[in-house]
Amino acid sequence: MTIRDILQVKGSDVYTTTPQTTLEKVVEVMVERNCGSLVVVDRPDSLTLVGIITERDILRNRAARTTALDKVLVGDAMSMAVVTASLGDEVPKLMGLMTKNRFRHMPVVEDGKLVGIISIGDVVKSQHDALTMENHYLKNYIQS
């Protein structure tokens, strides 16, 4: 199974923000959208990835500063060294990268443009679905 397969089921919607947005606004969007990260793009109408801002980034920022969230910009708190996936990547490879590097969200990029995002929940769901289907076929084979 590939990342393309997951995105065909899940969809390719990605919630984004810019480096000039405040962390206060990011928190509002994350709560409203029930998501744990926003992909940071260079400008609102762009699909060019420049970083990612996650719940963990916001917590680290709060632990290190006394500045209010409405005074801190995404560009000062985001992760810039973003590991990305491509549509043809295999799910086991992605699982390994996410586990090894301890992150839960991975942007998907093709030809330098953002085309989706995969969460660890998406990966677990795809593996669960594949194992459930395999189990079903094996039971049918054994019973026939």
What is the mean predicted confidence (pLDDT) over 5-18?
A: 93
3-state secondary structure 71-102: HCEHHHHCECCCCCECCCCEHHHHHHHHHHHC
Contacts of 91 (CB under 8 A, 6+ apart): 1, 2, 3, 5, 6, 123, 126, 127
The per-residue pLDDT for 4 is 95
Distance CA 2, CA 57 (A): 28
**pTM of the predicted model, to two decimals?**
0.86
Percent of the chain whose predicted confidence (pLDDT) is above 70: 100
Output the domain CATH number for residue 120: 3.10.580.10
**Mean pLDDT to the nearest integer, 110-131:** 90
Count: domains in the chain: 1
Q: What residues make up the domain containing 19?
A: 3-143
pLDDT-derived band at 138, boundaries 50, 70, 90: confident
